[in-house]
A = this chain, B = another copy of it.
Amino acid sequence: MNIDELKLLLEQKNYTEISKRLKNMQEVDIAELLDELEHKDALLVFRLLPKDTAVNVFAYLSPQKQGEISMLANEDELSNIVNALYFDDKIDFLEEMPAHIVKKILRNSTETERHLINQFLNYPDNSAGSLMTIEFIDLKKHMTVKEALEKIRRIGMNKETIYTCYVIDSQRKLEGIVSLKDLVLADPEQKIEDIMQTDFVSVKTLDDQEEVAALFKKYDLLAVPVVDNENRLVGIITIDDIVDVMEEEATEDFYHMAAMQTSEKPYLATSAFELAKQRFIWLLLLMVSSTISGAIIHKYEYALQSAVALAIFMPMLMDTGGNAGSQSSTVVIRSIALGEISFKDTLKIIWKEFSVSIIVGIPLALVNFLRIYFIEKYDMRIAITVSGTLVITVIFAKLVGSILPIVAKKVDIDPAIMAAPLITTIVDAISLMFYFSFAHVVLGL
């Protein structure tokens, strides 16, 4: 069923048909349809869903639509939905809702749950704690495989993932993990302690989500246990949330490299004013910093006056420098993000980028020389000045572009935001300085 069919059926008030068609759809797809409906229609369709489906659909709705439905639903209905949400979805939902809805929900929670919700709402953004869920299966090591499987059958229905089970002692300290695969393949009478893995990967509540994602990638994990400082198990993080984290982190780098702050909202849902706010400061900063290039030109105004043709090649030099520099910074920033290079590789990287700059710089300069001297028929000395500057510019651009992100990382600044937007400004200034110094010597200005 697509949105037009649904709207038509709604007009015809043919709710039986809507119910029937919804049954054959995936929950995400239903949520997508609801996101496109007016809030009253959305609530109407939402109420047609079987209870189990409704809860999962609710978790997939956009925060905006969740808010609208929460507003319109009565208190009982709302608390039924919210209580049935997986804990991490519940926290995500509460984080987005206005205070009066959060209050309504907390009023209908038990005291233990209220305490837990408050604790989870306090984990910093981007921490492992903010990603985890409390739905997992915990086992004891003296259990047999049969007992473990019985426990899973008893409580497994409500757990977000049962593919990894966690073995804890009486203090809830994590002792081992055992996969459902191992349980299914094991002899039912075996003890859990005999089949559990003790060399497992775990993270702490305050670990950064980027590091957690790196562990998932390295060890091909489906879930990772989260422990507190006393090594007590407090939750687990599952791969579906990590997939979102990976996208978020890549988006952050894209935005930073284009001199923008990030937002978690999708583009179309962000107002022009908010977008402008994310972009203005960097534009201003870079505009002001490019006055350095202006000052350099100002200093050599006399040279330009006597050879105004020099101005013609300024855009080409600045653009090529900027492009060469951002190639290098992009490669280095991305390699840092993927964990492929680190500070100890600095010399290797500098040498590599230097070699590349020679290999690309000389042919570029040559093409340039031929064009200026033979095709555009400028003075040989101008052709030499421009081409010479081009080689030096490419070399410097690639060195600055590769060193800046490494240094930024070393002093704990995000390489993407520190290096990428500044490259152009720095390279412009360097290239103009060389250009006019060259001109001064070669043209005798």
Residues of A within 8 A of B (CB): 24-26, 28, 149, 152-153, 156-157, 162-163, 180-181, 184-185, 199, 201, 216-220, 222, 239-240, 242-244, 246-247, 250-251, 253-255, 257-260, 266-268, 272-273, 275-276, 279-280, 282-284, 286-288, 290-291, 293-294, 297-298, 301, 304-305, 308-309, 311-316, 318-320, 322-324, 326-327, 329-335, 338, 340-341, 345, 348-349, 352, 355-356, 359-360, 363-364, 367-368, 371, 394, 421, 424-425, 428, 432
Select which of B26, B304, B322, B352 is within 8 A of A311 by beta carbon: B304
How far, in whole Å, are A88 and B185 apart by their CA atoms in the complex?
23
How far, in whole Å, are A313 and B291 apart by their CA atoms in the complex?
8
Interchain CB contact under 8 A, B318 and A309:
no
* A-B contacts, 27 listed (Cβ < 8 Å): A26-B201, A26-B219, A152-B185, A153-B185, A157-B185, A163-B163, A180-B180, A180-B184, A217-B244, A250-B250, A251-B334, A254-B333, A254-B334, A268-B341, A272-B352, A276-B359, A279-B356, A282-B323, A283-B323, A286-B319, A286-B323, A287-B320, A294-B312, A297-B311, A297-B312, A298-B309, A318-B318
Question: For A333, what are the chain B residues with a Cβ–Cβ distance below 8 Å?
Answer: 254
How far, in whole Å, are A259 and B329 apart by their CA atoms in the complex?
12
Interchain CB contact under 8 A, B319 and A424:
yes
Interchain CB contact under 8 A, A272 and B356:
yes
Q: How far is the CB of A177 from chain B (nearest CB, A)?
A: 13
Nearest 6 pairs of A and B residues by beta carbon: A272-B355, A293-B315, A258-B330, A276-B359, A220-B240, A250-B250
How far, in whole Å, are A327 and B420 apart by their CA atoms in the complex?
12
How far, in whole Å, are A149 and B180 apart by their CA atoms in the complex?
12
Question: For A280, what are the chain B residues with a Cβ–Cβ distance below 8 Å?
Answer: 359-360, 363-364
Select which of B243, B309, B312, B424 is within 8 A of A216 by beta carbon: B243
Q: In the complex this chain forms, how many copies of it are found? A: 2
Question: For A341, what are the chain B residues with a Cβ–Cβ distance below 8 Å?
Answer: 267-268
Interchain CB contact under 8 A, B309 and A301:
yes
How far, in whole Å, are A298 and B104 apart by their CA atoms in the complex?
69
Q: How far is the CB of A153 from chain B (nearest CB, A)?
A: 6
